[in-house]
């Protein structure tokens, strides 16, 4: 059976002998004295904190997965000093830790098999099995998985039940610490009886707390309640001091307090006085319609936690030792029945199988022959088309090559024209520039020759300095255009003469 296909979740409260049933179609929860179940229903329950041992254990990261449970069990017996003569149910969660750490850390939830049997054996005849049994502190995790509470704060939960009370600390959506408190309603009734000197039943206590809270009209009786709750919150304060130091908790962001009878009026004043913080009720929007006022927060949290484990496939802490029976085909008897049936079917069907397969192959052969004729004709046609396309591609490639060569020639011609347009210095401009400089320096031009970008000038002057100044002037002011050089300056018949070579850049 696929567990997600359930219609109802049948929850057992073994401490009140009641069934809290969640109808998935109606999204509704109500209480029953008896419960009718079907094979598709999910069976779930919760287990008191005082019957649970919770501790963290570290092991080497090198331990293979197949040995994990045995190693954790062995270390639990050794480190927690468990009774070696008793058998324990151990469930665990792996805690997030630095991936580079050489160790892995696990949170172990432990209880005795004998306690589970004592609590649930009487209901097994009616229900047959339990898919889930959750320790109560683990139930609070659903407040974060369902996004009812934010997962970036540290929260303290305090809850009172008839036969148990507990506090639990969650940090950033993860369970950190829990402690069972002795101040259950049963203990409170006994303590008031002791203080008052006359018997006070648990029913009377619950009536007073649910009606008046901690604001009883009888002042004398109120003193007993005040004393008990003062002792309770001093005890809680001591536990918080220890927990903060042990788990590096800087501060508690919010405190939530409630009980199986709802909020106890006036208890928030004790939280403010002894813990120095405002306390809030379990006023959570569970998203479930509550059709019975006797449904407790624990019942609702158990349903939501069961949904998490079924629908969200969350890693769960599960104390059940009363497993759902496997499907018939998974049981030894079922496997034997299936084997016998399969043998009979094979024995009778073998001759028929041979005949039917021979006929089947003949039909398949005829169909394949027809299909081959069609496919072969199509193949020949496609090959012809492919060859034609290849020839066309070849022609196009040749045309592309011819056009490419033509474009390359055009490109080179354009480059030459561009070079002439941009970089070629007109001869007339060059000669005009030289004429101005020659006149400026009072030189006489005897001869001018030009080859490509080179000019040969033969000049004379009355003073050799005029020739050198002319060369210097061109060098300093027109070096970007011209490169001017001379081999020597000679004196002939009273005149200085020099052959200048000028190159255009």
Report which of 117, 104, 114 is spatially closest to residue 75, judged by C-alpha positions.
104
Predicted local confidence at residue 37, as pLDDT: 87
Predicted local confidence at residue 2, as pLDDT: 47
Predicted local confidence at residue 152, as pLDDT: 94
Residues β-bridged to residue 257: 158
| Distances, alpha carbon 122 to alpha carbons 15, 318, 384, in Å | 12, 20, 84
Kindly indicate whether the domain formed by 149-283 is annotated with CATH number 3.40.50.720: no
Per-domain residue ranges of the chain:
1-147+288-325, 149-283, 331-424, 427-504
Residue 210's Cα: distance from chain center in Å?
A: 44
How many Å apart are CA 287 and CA 148, to the nearest integer? 9
How many Å apart are CA 443 and CA 496, to the nearest integer? 10
Contact yes or no for 30/20 (Cβ under 8 A): yes
Q: Residues 261-269: contacts with CB within 8 Å, 24+ apart?
A: 261/206, 261/209, 261/210, 262/210, 263/213, 264/160, 264/209, 264/210, 264/213, 264/214, 265/212, 265/213, 265/214, 265/215, 266/213, 266/214, 266/215, 267/213, 267/214, 267/229, 269/214
How does 154-163 read in b/e, with b if 16+ C-beta sit within 10 Å?
bbbbbbbbbe
Q: Same fold for the domain at 1-147+288-325 and the one at 149-283?
A: yes
Contact yes or no for 201/189 (Cβ under 8 A): yes
Residue 325 region by backbone torsions, left for phi larger than 0, else alpha for psi between -120 and 50, else beta:
beta
Predicted local confidence at residue 119, as pLDDT: 95
How many Å apart are CA 139 and CA 300, to the nearest integer? 9
DSSP characters over 286-340: -SSEE--TT--HHHHHHHHHHHIIIII---------SPPPPPGGGSHHHHHHHHH
How many Å apart are CA 243 and CA 166, to the nearest integer? 14
Q: Is the dihedral of CA 264, 269, 274, 276 positive or negative?
A: positive
Tokens of 3: 């567990």
Q: In what order do the strands lie in the sheet with 495-504?
A: 444-451, 454-461, 495-504, 482-492
| Distances, alpha carbon 269 to alpha carbons 185, 207, 279, 454, in Å | 19, 20, 8, 109
Look up the CATH superfamily of 427-504: General secretion pathway protein M, EpsM (3.30.1360.100)
Predicted local confidence at residue 1, as pLDDT: 39
Contact yes or no for 55/108 (Cβ under 8 A): yes
Contact yes or no for 22/37 (Cβ under 8 A): no
CATH class of segment(s) 1-147+288-325: alpha beta
Report which of 173, 158, 139, 136 is spatially closest to residue 52, judged by C-alpha positions.
136
Tokens of 268: 């928030």
Q: Greatest CA separation found in the chain?
A: 155
Report which of 409, 502, 395 is spatially closest to residue 457, judged by C-alpha positions.
502
How many Å apart are CA 110 and CA 106, to the nearest integer? 12
How many Å apart are CA 141 and CA 448, to the nearest integer? 104
Mean pLDDT by 10 residues, the chain (505 residues): 73 94 95 89 94 93 91 93 93 86 92 95 91 96 95 96 96 94 96 94 95 93 95 96 94 96 94 95 94 95 94 83 73 57 64 78 85 85 88 90 88 77 62 80 84 82 86 80 83 85 80
DSSP characters over 24-63: TTTTEEEEESS----TT-EEEEEE-GGG-EEEEEEEETTS
DSSP characters over 154-187: EEEEEEE-SS-EEEEEEETTEEEEEEEES--HHH
């Amino acid at each position: 059976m696929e567990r997600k296909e359930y219609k109802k979740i049948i929850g057992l409260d073994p401490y009140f002998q009641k069934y809290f049933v969640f109808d998935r179609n109606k999204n509704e929860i109500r209480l029953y004295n008896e419960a009718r179940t079907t094979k598709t229903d999910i069976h779930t329950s919760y287990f008191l904190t005082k019957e649970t041992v919770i501790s963290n254990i570290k092991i080497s990261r090198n331990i293979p997965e197949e040995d994990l449970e045995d190693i954790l069990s062995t270390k639990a017996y050794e480190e927690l000093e468990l009774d070696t003569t008793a058998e324990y149910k151990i469930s665990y969660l792996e805690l997030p830790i630095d991936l580079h750490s050489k160790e892995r850390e696990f949170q172990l939830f432990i209880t005795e098999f004998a306690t589970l049997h004592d609590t649930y054996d009487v209901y097994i005849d009616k229900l047959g099995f339990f898919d889930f049994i959750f320790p109560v502190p683990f139930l609070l995790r659903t407040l974060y998985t369902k996004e009812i509470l934010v997962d970036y704060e540290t929260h303290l939960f305090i809850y009172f039940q008839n036969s148990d009370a507990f506090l639990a600390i969650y940090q950033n959506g993860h369970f950190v610490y829990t402690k069972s408190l002795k101040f259950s309603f049963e203990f409170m009734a006994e303590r008031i009886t002791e203080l008052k000197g006359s018997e006070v039943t648990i029913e009377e206590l619950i009536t007073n707390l649910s009606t008046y809270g901690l604001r009883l009209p009888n002042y004398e009786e109120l003193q007993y309640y005040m004393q008990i709750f003062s002792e309770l919150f001093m005890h809680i304060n001591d536990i918080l001091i220890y927990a903060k130091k042990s788990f590096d908790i800087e501060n508690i962001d919010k405190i939530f307090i409630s009980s199986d009878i709802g909020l106890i009026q006036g208890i928030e004043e004790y939280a403010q006085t002894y813990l120095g913080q405002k306390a809030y009720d379990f006023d959570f929007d569970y998203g479930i319609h509550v059709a019975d006022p006797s449904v407790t927060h624990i019942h609702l949290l158990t349903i939501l936690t069961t949904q998490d484990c079924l629908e969200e496939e969350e890693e769960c802490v599960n104390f059940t030792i009363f497993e759902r029976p496997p499907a018939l085909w998974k049981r030894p008897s079922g496997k034997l029945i299936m084997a016998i049936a399969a043998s009979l079917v094979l024995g009778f069907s073998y001759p028929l199988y041979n005949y039917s397969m021979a006929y089947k192959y003949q039909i398949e052969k005829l169909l394949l022959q027809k299909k081959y004729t069609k496919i072969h004709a199509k193949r020949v046609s496609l090959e012809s088309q492919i060859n034609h396309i290849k020839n066309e591609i070849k022609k196009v490639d040749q045309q592309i090559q011819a056009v490419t060569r033509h474009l390359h020639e055009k490109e080179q011609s354009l480059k030459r024209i561009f070079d002439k347009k941009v970089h070629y210095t007109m001869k007339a401009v060059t000669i005009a520039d030289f004429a101005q400089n020659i006149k400026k320096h009072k030189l006489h031009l005897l001869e001018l020759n030009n080859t490509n970008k080179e000019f040969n000038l033969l000049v004379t002057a009355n003073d050799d300095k005029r020739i050198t100044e002319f060369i210097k002037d061109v060098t300093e002011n027109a070096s970007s255009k011209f490169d001017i050089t001379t081999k020597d300056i000679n004196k002939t018949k009273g005149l200085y003469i020099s052959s200048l070579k000028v190159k255009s850049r």
